[in-house]
A and B are shown apart, each in its own frame.
Chain A
Amino acid sequence: MKITKKEVEYVARLARLALSEAEKEKMTAQLDSILQYMDKLNSLDTKNVEPTSHVLPLNNVWREDKVQPSLSREEMLANAPEQAEGFYKVKKVIE
């Protein structure tokens, strides 16, 4: 086994993803078979290979720090599930 149900539960917590018991079982089996497939990469020697995170030779892209028009508070809040007094409203964060 490449991955256990306990690890699936741990990863789900890291990903902030509530999974049902049935989902956990299925996820464990499916991730296990996918991760076994990934093992084929281990047959390659990559000791002297640089990693590629980006295919183009772009470095940091800078822009002038100029004030430009942006969306209004009303536009930003238009999609909010809950709002109050011009803010996003969430469950209490501080005990």
Chain B
Amino acid sequence: MAEKKRLKDLSIWQKIYIPEIFKGLALTFKNMLKPKFTMEYPEEKFIPPASYRGRPVLVQEENGEERCVACGLCSRVCPALAIEVQAAETEREKERYPERFEINMIRCIFCGFCEEVCPEEAIVMSKDYELAFTNRQEAIYGKDKLLVPVSQLQDRIEFLRNYK
């Protein structure tokens, strides 16, 4: 069978390599002088825009109480079944509060449905994307880790009001 000419067969210039090396180096030096797009993470942190969906957090009011009334809708809508809520009664005006609120961050897929369904604007997606754990138990975030003061979540809440 006759040998077939391949598209990839190199020309003579390409075969001697030297010009190609200089061509490549030229591109490298040209880009060295251009402005950088890379970020030196973790020394330098990426601050996401308000539309970013980081880990879901619970909104903590200024008086230290959670907004959540433990209605369980986030838990119901969660496609990954990451959220567990146990409600209990309180003396406060909103009769109900979450006695336990746990998100399994291994299950969470950051879809933001919980935030979308929440009737109280009590669970929102934060800008926190640094989630590393060394075991399964650590990955279950309880109220201690989930509650974030409302002042830190202002721009996300603003974003939701505009676009939700």
Tell whether A pairs with B: no
